[in-house]
Amino acid sequence: MEYLLLVISAVLVNNILLAQYLGNCPFLGVSKQMSTALGMGTAVIFTMTLASIITWGVHKWILMPLEIEYLQTLSFILVIASLVQFVEIFMKKSMDTLYQALGIFLPLITTNCAVLGVALLCIKNEYSFLKMVVFSFASGLGFALALVVFAGLRERYVISNIPKPLQGTAIGLITAGFMSLAFFGFMGLT
Amino acid sequence: MRIVREFTKGFSTELAPFRLVLGLCPTLAVTTTAENGMGMGLATTFVLICANVLISLMRKIIPKKVRIACYIVVIATFVVAVELLMQAYFYPLYQRLGIFVPLIVVNCIILGRAEAFASKNTVLFSAVDGLGIGLGFTFSLTLLGGLRELLGVGSLFNVPLMGKSFEPFSFMIKAPGAFVTLGLLLFVMNYLTSLKRTRA
């Protein structure tokens, strides 16, 4: 039950994009088409879970025993950057179809603040191992959900007649605002 | 005067969140009040100047292939310094900004300036570029924070301005308000630019 609540909270109520404001650059950048949004979403779910597991281990077994927690930011970003590189090489060698689908999104994820943000949140909220895995996976799922829904909306509104100064990012942000408002409706769930 | 130009472009053609639409996460997340926006902007400016200077100094010895990794290490080092400084001197602000202080590391403006400017220019120009872009970013965040604070709380820099009968518009300080306000500000910017263009 506790885990179910955690999932609902991470996917809908505290959606990482729309309520916690993490990962907005790819949100606006790759949401022009449904297919790229799906690819990016999947890549983020995958990397986010993996990155949180590894950074959690780094924090627990390296930073804490040595009492150098202040190096958290520096070590986490290095771990994430090298993890992304490693995943990219590994995928290219052994899972070619997956690489074709997700490959181009992987380098972008290094500077996606959602990945680092979730890793930091897991530490800040002092989650146990299992909770951390569930939380990071659900956060990735929430990211993918918001991205795909937004891409769907965006595919619709590009064909409508938008005043010139509003075109592009401006209308995108306003649409995201209303989506965020809609997600507020889930507040009562937890 | 090239040096003046490098400084002022941070406010005009390369005004980070509005013109380039970079660094959106902190722009949206911490601008619930003008003070938070300004604090975040100044912290980012500090990292931006330091990282630009150091990267510019090392631009000839950093190997091309691993340059992004090197930049990230340099930036992360300064972010850790800012974190420790804020913990020591501005603890309440540090707590309000929360995980967005360590997240300065992944602010694409900083990596973007390192790649696009500091790696090709001398130390002096890089420092000025960092200062200009940073202050432009601070200005944008303070403006957005000020608007949201004024409508959402009815004050500016914690000074009540709207009088007793004002009903705070709590939508503004929540997440949807951030998206909509930034969207409308972009709209105003685009509109003003288009006016200028038709007149010229």
B108–A111 C-beta distance less than 8 A: yes
In a domain, B170, yes or no: no
Chain B CB contacts of A176 under 8 Å are 179, 183
SS3 for B33? coil
Burial of B90 (0-12, 13-18, 19+ CB in 10 A): middle
pLDDT at A157: 84
Indicate if the pLDDT at residue B50 is higher than 90: yes
Lowest mean pLDDT among A15-29, A167-181, B34-48, B184-198: A15-29
In a domain, A147, yes or no: yes
Range of the domain at A128: 23-156
Structure tokens at B92: 């309440």
Are residues B39 and B95 in contact, defined by beta-carbon separation less than 8 angstroms? no
If phi over 0 gives left and psi between -120 and 50 gives alpha, with beta otherwise, what is residue A119? alpha
Q: Which of B25, B98, B175 sits opposite A18 (nearest CB)?
A: B175
Lowest mean pLDDT among A65-74, A103-112, A147-156, A164-173: A103-112
**Most confident of the following: B8-17, B50-59, B60-69, B150-159:** B50-59
Mean pLDDT, all residues of chain B: 84
pLDDT at A156: 87
Query: What's the average model confidence in pLDDT over B6-20?
Result: 71
Q: Identify the residue whose tokens are 């009903």.
A: B167
Residue partners of A131: CB distance under 8 A and separation at least 6 = A3, A6
Indicate if the pLDDT at residue B29 is higher than 70: yes
In a domain, B67, yes or no: yes
Query: What's the average model confidence in pLDDT over B64-91?
Result: 88
Count of domains forming chain A: 1
Are residues B110 and B48 in contact, defined by beta-carbon separation less than 8 angstroms? yes
Query: What's the average model confidence in pLDDT over B66-76?
Result: 86
Range of the domain at B83: 2-143
Own/partner pairs, B94-100, CB within 8 angstroms, 24+ separation? B96/B30, B96/B36, B97/B30, B97/B36, B97/B39, B97/B40, B97/B43, B98/A124, B99/A117, B99/A120, B99/A121, B99/A124, B100/B25, B100/B26, B100/B29, B100/B30, B100/B40
pLDDT at B20: 65
Query: What's the average model confidence in pLDDT over B48-53?
Result: 93
Q: Which of B24, B73, B186 sits opposite A24 (nearest CB)?
A: B24
Q: Given CB atoms, is B179 within the 8 Å cutoff of chain A?
A: yes
Count of domains forming chain B: 1
Query: What's the average model confidence in pLDDT over B74-103?
Result: 89
Q: Given CB atoms, is B20 within the 8 Å cutoff of chain A?
A: no
Q: Given CB atoms, is B106 within the 8 Å cutoff of chain A?
A: yes
Q: Residues B47, B50, B53, B54: what is their CA dihedral angle, to the nearest 10 degrees?
A: -100
pLDDT digits (tens, 9 = 90+) for A53-70: 999 999 989 888 888 888
Q: Given CB atoms, is B29 within the 8 Å cutoff of chain A?
A: yes
In a domain, B197, yes or no: no
Query: What's the average model confidence in pLDDT over B10-30?
Result: 73
**Among candidates A164, A176, A159, which has minimal Cα distance to B187?**
A164
pLDDT at A102: 66
In a domain, A125, yes or no: yes
Q: Identify the residue whose tokens are 């804020």.
A: B86
- Model confidence at A134, in pLDDT bands (50, 70, 90)? very high
pLDDT at A111: 65
SS3 for B95? helix
In a domain, A129, yes or no: yes
Q: Identify the residue whose tokens are 């972010």.
A: B79
A20–B29 C-beta distance less than 8 A: yes
Q: How far is CA B84 from CA A22, A69, A71, B81, B94, in A?
A: 23, 11, 10, 5, 10
Indicate if the pLDDT at residue B3 is higher than 90: no
Q: Can you give the pTM of this predicted structure? A: 0.84
pLDDT at B47: 93
Q: How far is CA A170 from the centre of its chain?
A: 22
Indicate if the pLDDT at residue A95 is higher than 80: no
Is the ipTM higher than 0.90? The answer is: no
Query: What's the average model confidence in pLDDT over A29-34?
Result: 78
In a domain, B38, yes or no: yes
